[in-house]
Amino acid sequence: MRQVKFSFLIHQSINRTELVLLKPFAFRKWLRLVFIAFLAGSLTSGGFHFNVFGPSYHTPTKASAIKTSSIKVISSSANGVTKTVTSSRQTVVSGLSPFFNPVIWIEQLRPQVWGLVCFAGFLLVGIMVVFMWLGARFEFVWWEAIVKNTDTISEPFKRYKKQGESLFNLNLIVSVVFLLIGGGIAWLVISMITKGSFKFNFMPDFMTVLSLGVSFALLVVIFLIVSCIFACIIYPQIVTLMAMDNCSFIKAWGKFWEIYSNNAKDIWLFIFLSFGISIVVGIAAGIFAVITVIVLGLTGFIIAVPFALLFWKFKTLLWLIAIILGIPYFLVSVVVLMLLYLPVAVFFRSLSLYFLTSLNCGYEPLPLSTTGGVM
């Protein structure tokens, strides 16, 4: 049972953040901690558009979707000569707009693009799996960085191999489940479209809109609930149990369930507290990030103007200079934004560790210096 106030835990977490990052201040340590937190997924963070489809919307499409019919129009002129004019009219026979028909879009994909699409898809999945594997292992490196106030990477990365692989398996299963749910909803939408639920005027019927809206809303709610539970319980608390007891996720889950049974009220209070603090901190961090991006953008603009004026007539050279200077500047800007968010990440990880200690459940990842009254 919790023996201290949440306000005291917050105060302790702030002190821990100062100790880890500022006592003493070392820029090298900040960079290493940012690297660890990034791979562990503890730093809160468009896309490319290619014209891979076939002809534009005004170009005649497949005959399977568009039917052309001839209409004879008889007109009379002033001199009494009768003319017969044949005109063509295209109608949609499938009930689908040619501009909003995924079947036509898929059929019109250029054959040479399919190989590139498949390769890019497999490459993307492979990169995601690699980062997922690294993230599972770096969860324990991040845990040790906060608990032991260190920036060591290689030694804990090797030492927590068993725990990292167990957590990776969990991440993989959860990701597959969410992909199946998302794929099911996408299949439902495409099925409704291809069956003519969306007519030529793009106006779906009320029941279609209602069913899609409810399905999407339920998916969002489920995703938010599961994400909140994962962020507030599974990763902070179960990772701690796995690290301290040198066990797999299954065994740590059993131990956590025992702790939860005796402290359900406090754990749910902690979830809501963390969620509320995350909203407030997220808004503040977002505003600060926007200001930082504006400052970095203006700085980059000021740096770029002299080069643009100097090499304006040499467009190729100007683009080359822009790439050579722009890519490092962009990467530095990203690192700066992550450095600014690092104190928030340290605070929330410390808060979860102090909370587990406050439950007096036999685990003390971060000891409390003093105690306060129960809230």
- Find all residues with CB under 8 Å of 123, minimum gap 6, and list them: none
Which segment of 3-17, 88-102, 278-292 scores lowest on mean pLDDT? 88-102
Cβ contact 147:356 at 8 Å: no
DSSP string, 102-132: HHHHHHTS-HHHHHHHHHHHHHHHHHHHHHH
Helix, strand, coil shares, percent, the chain, to 5: 70, 5, 25
pTM of the predicted structure, to 2 decimals:
0.69
- pLDDT at site 108: 58
Q: What are the beta bridge partners of residue 73?
A: 85
**Please, what's the b/e burial string for 45-76 (b: 16 or more CB within 10 A of its CB; e: otherwise)?**
eeeeeeeeeeeeeeeebeeebbeeeeeeeeee
- pLDDT tens digits, one per residue of 314-352: 777 777 877 887 788 888 888 888 888 899 999 999 998
- pLDDT tens digits, one per residue of 270-310: 888 888 888 888 888 888 888 888 888 888 788 777 777 77
Sign of torsion, CA 221 222 227 229? positive
Token look-up 């699409």 returns 117
